[in-house]
Amino acid sequence: MTKLGLVVTSIQSPTLQLRSLIESHDFHSVVVVGDLKTPSDWSWPGSKYLSIEEQLVIHPELAELTPWNTYARKNLGYLACLAAGATVIFESDDDNGPLPGLVPLAIEASFEGKVVESESGWINPYRMTNRPDIWPRGLPLEEIQTNATYKSADCRIDNVAVQQWLAAGEPDVDAIYRLTRGESSAELEGGRFAVGHGSFTPFNSQSTAWHSLFELMYLPATVSFRMTDIWRSFIALRVMHSVGASLVYMGPGVHQDRNPHNLLSDFASEIPGYRWNGRIRNLLDEVPFAVEDSINARLRRCYEVLVSADIVDAGELTILDAWCSAISAVLSEG
C-alpha cells in the first residue's frame, strides 16, 4: 500500500495554495520545514511543522552543517517524512495549488505512453505541450533556439523513480524568460511523456513525486537558490539512468501563484546555471560507475566531479556525507 508523504518549505504563514494542497489528498504524513524566517507559531491541521529545534535534535550533524535560510533545509523534511513511514514523497512549494490533473494524485510506478529522446540530447518539456514557446528553468540557453528533432515511441516503463508535474499559471521559467517576455499566465495542455535514457531535461522540486532512489533527493546546500533543485535534477537523472530508472512528465498538475520575486536577483542567482548547465551534463555523462556502486556512492562520485571542475564548492562534500549517513540510517529503519 502506498503511503504518500508531502514535504514543503515555507517562511510565511500557511498560504491558501498550501492549505488547498494539504486538503486535496489523504496524505499519510505532511512535513513543513521551518527556517529562521518562518513564523514560530506555524501550524495547520493535518501537518507536522518541523521546527529549527527539532531539526537540530533529530539530525544534528546535517542540521548544523546546512546553512540557514537556504532551500536545502528541505533535506531535513525528506528525512522526517520517510521516518514517518512515507513510501512515496510528493514535494512542492507553498505557492503551488492543486489542479484537477493532480487530484487525486496519479502515483504511477509504471508508465505506458510516449518515451521521448532528442537529437541534441536535451528535451524541453514544454515542446510536448500547447506552449512550445516556453522553456524551463535550467534548460541551457544554447538550447532555447534549437530545432532539435524529437523522437518518440510508445513504450511501457516499469521503473518510474520520479514523476514531474508542470505548473500552469506562472510556469517555472528562468529570469531571462520573465524579463524578456513578461509574467503572462499560461494555461497548459499535454506534456505527458517519459524521458528517454539518452536525453536530459531539468526537473524541479515544485510538484514532484519520488517513488524510490530517495538518496537522490539531496538538494546541494552551497549552490545558488535558483540552481539547487536544477543541478540536483541533472545528477539524479544521471544516476537514475545508470540503474535503469526513469523520469516521467505528467503534464500540468499545479497552478502557481508565484510568491513575490525580484527578477534581477533571480537572474543573478541563475548566472551559474546559464554558464554551466550544459557543461554539467557533459561532465556527468563521463562519470564512471562500477556495477557494485551504491546509490550514495554514485551520488558522491557526481559531486566529486563537479567539485573538481570548480562548479560546486568543496564544502558540499562534507554536507553530502552527512546526508548520506542520515538517509542510510532512515532507510535501514524503514
Q: Which residue has the higher pLDDT, 101 or 111?
A: 111
Beta strands in the chain (DSSP E): 4-9, 29-33, 48-50, 88-93, 96-98, 111-118, 150-157, 160-169, 192-195, 207-210, 246-256
What is residue 95's predicted lDDT score, i.e. its pLDDT?
A: 87
Number of domains in the chain: 1
Domain that residue 232 falls in:
4-333
% of the chain beyond a pLDDT of 70? 98
What is residue 187's predicted lDDT score, i.e. its pLDDT?
A: 84
- Which amino acid is located at 3 in the chain? K
Question: Mean of the per-residue pLDDT values for the chain?
Answer: 94
Least confident of 43-52, 260-269, 291-300: 260-269
pLDDT in tens, 48-65: 999 999 999 999 999 999
Confidence label for 274 from pLDDT (cuts 50, 70 and 90): very high
- Flag whether pLDDT at 73 surpasses 90: yes
What is residue 168's predicted lDDT score, i.e. its pLDDT?
A: 87
Confidence label for 239 from pLDDT (cuts 50, 70 and 90): very high
- Flag whether pLDDT at 255 surpasses 90: no
What is residue 185's predicted lDDT score, i.e. its pLDDT?
A: 66
pLDDT in tens, 119-170: 999 999 999 999 999 999 999 999 998 888 999 999 999 999 999 999 988 8
- Flag whether pLDDT at 287 surpasses 90: yes
Confidence label for 258 from pLDDT (cuts 50, 70 and 90): confident
53 in Cβ contact with 111 (< 8 Å): no
- Flag whether pLDDT at 184 surpasses 70: no
- Flag whether pLDDT at 103 surpasses 70: no
Would you call the peptide bond into 202 cis, given omega within 30 degrees of 0 as the criterion?
no
Total residue length of the chain:
334
